[in-house]
Chains A and B, each alone.
Chain A
Amino acid sequence: MSYARRSLRTVLLIAVVILFVGMVGARRAPATSPRQPLPMSHKRHLDKQMKCRACHQGVEGEAMASFPTLADCMDCHKTPQGQEPAEPEVRVFAARGQELSWVLLNRLPGHVYFSHAAHVTLGRVKCEACHRDMSKVDQAPIEADVHLDMSACVACHRDGNASLDCLACHK
């Protein structure tokens, strides 16, 4: 085998290895995205006519919409609810006395002030105006669903006759 052929084969081999590693890495990527502590389905909860604020209690009076604590979940899940195989898991957390460590997915840029209370309570903006329709989401969310840029905020502020002062949102 000539030298040129051998080096061509080496190059091809390296290329295949790099491609393989890349593909495996790409397939593995979702596994490294944040894992919620429970395989909680928004759809099942909303199908029971629950309101968003039942679990995200801060949404009406605070800047941040809070996550439900274990105690909030146990208000309903003290006794088994429905036939879902993963449903008893919440009581495993309760038996261990381990708080639910929900992973925050939607993060604001550091220079932006946003208040859920101002939008939901004072502005009467529906959750779906910024978030996706959670009644269709059957899995625990693992990626951010709010992809607003400033032009979207400004368009809504303009239509809703809300403040267009920079200081209303920039801090």
Chain B
Amino acid sequence: MKRDDDLRRKLLAGLAASAAGALAGCTRAMAAKSAEPAPSRRRRKWGMVIDLDRCARCAGCVVACQQENNIPPLGAQAAARTRPIHWMDFLPPASGSFTATPIPCMHCEDPPCVKVCPVGATYQNPEGITAQVWERCIGCRYCIVACPYSRRYFNWSEPRWPGDDPSSLNPDVAPRPRGVVEKCTLCHHRIHAVLEHARLDEELLTDEALRRLPACAESCPTQAITFGDLADPDSEVARLAASPRAVRLLPEAGTRPKVIYLRETK
């Protein structure tokens, strides 16, 4: 009981202090914001462009994504037996003219998966990422059925690491437990890190710092993957998205993907 009282007192004191701090911070932030150039005032809209004319189909992005996001390796035998998880994958040969196309989550502007989630475990964050909160997911898999791109995966088993040694895991990404659905986060943890460092260093986040930010884009030897803010017309990703070569997967689904492909029409 005493501990509860102590905690409550501390919390109240803390809240008062942080509210005062936030008030001071707001005035400072407003002053700082008015000095910033126009693009940073706009709400960001993260997106990605994948240039299929540049892509060498090396699958480096697939491996980099597995490594970055703590996706357990299965090995060939187990992968054939069960359902392997690939946040970044290649479309199978039956995909018509999009055969062997690297495909992450499309981060749709109108995501069908979000509409069907009964517990609010998946949602679109203010910057356009279709996010999944693993702890909230009840594993009903409605979202897997709803996604027209099959970009969602269910964890049928507890994640296992080679030699049962989790020490090589990326500490910035939580491993998902058995019984939840998981998906690409556009390497949100990396976005989080550069945003925080830019704010701490009081620097503006440049487009150059973002272009190769996700693990897949960073690993791409032909620089076929470009990441950035689609709402910033001066960004590389917005410029590429406006290219006449730009195509979207399944436009008829009405999902308006924020992952855009580039390729010459044949």
The answer to whether residues A159 and B196 also contact, given A111-B174, A126-B14 and a CB cut-off of 8 A, is no
Q: Is A135 an interface residue (CB 8 A)?
A: no
Number of interface residues of A (CB under 8 A): 32
Number of A-B contacts (CB under 8 A): 96
CB distance from A94 to the nearest CB of B (A): 31
Contact present for B173 and A171 (CB under 8 Å): yes
The answer to whether residues A132 and B6 also contact, given A111-B134, A124-B18 and a CB cut-off of 8 A, is yes
Contact of B22 among A113, A121, A124, A168 (CB under 8 A): A124
Taking CB atoms, residues of chain A closer than 8 Å to B123 are 166
Convert A101-139 into 0s and 1s, putting 1 for each residue whose CB lies closer than 8 angstroms to a CB of B.
000000000110101011001111110111011000000
Task: State the CA gap A165–B173 with chains docked (Å).
Answer: 17
By beta carbon, the residue of chain A nearest B20 is: A124
Stretch at the interface among B55-63, B124-132, B244-252: B124-132
Convert A78-107 into 0s and 1s, putting 1 for each residue whose CB lies closer than 8 angstroms to a CB of B.
000000000000000000000000000000
Contact present for B189 and A171 (CB under 8 Å): yes
CB distance from A136 to the nearest CB of B (A): 11
Q: Is B7 an interface residue (CB 8 A)?
A: yes
Contact present for B172 and A171 (CB under 8 Å): yes
CB distance from B69 to the nearest CB of A (A): 10
The answer to whether residues A160 and B21 also contact, given A129-B13, A167-B192 and a CB cut-off of 8 A, is yes
Contact of B17 among A117, A125, A171 (CB under 8 A): A125
Q: Is B133 an interface residue (CB 8 A)?
A: yes
CB distance from A150 to the nearest CB of B (A): 10
Task: State the CA gap A118–B196 with chains docked (Å).
Answer: 7
Task: State the CA gap A156–B21 with chains docked (Å).
Answer: 11
The residues in B between 179 and 219 inclusive whose CB is less than 8 angstroms from any CB of A are: 185, 188-189, 192, 196, 199-200
CB distance from A120 to the nearest CB of B (A): 10
Taking CB atoms, residues of chain B closer than 8 Å to A110 are 174-175
By beta carbon, the residue of chain A nearest B21 is: A124
Contact present for A115 and B196 (CB under 8 Å): yes
CB distance from A133 to the nearest CB of B (A): 8
Contact present for B15 and A122 (CB under 8 Å): no
Contact present for B18 and A122 (CB under 8 Å): no
Contact present for A128 and B17 (CB under 8 Å): yes
Convert B1-33 into 0s and 1s, putting 1 for each residue whose CB lies closer than 8 angstroms to a CB of A.
001001100110111011101101110000000
Task: State the CA gap A156–B3 with chains docked (Å).
Answer: 20
Task: State the CA gap A125–B13 with chains docked (Å).
Answer: 11
Q: Is B264 an interface residue (CB 8 A)?
A: no
**13 additional contacts, CB 8 Å, given A123-B22, A126-B21, A129-B10?**
A61-B200, A118-B196, A121-B200, A125-B21, A128-B14, A155-B11, A160-B25, A165-B125, A166-B123, A166-B131, A167-B192, A171-B173, A171-B189
Residues of A within 8 A of B (CB): 61, 110-111, 113, 115, 117-118, 121-126, 128-130, 132-133, 147, 152, 155-156, 159-162, 165-168, 170-171
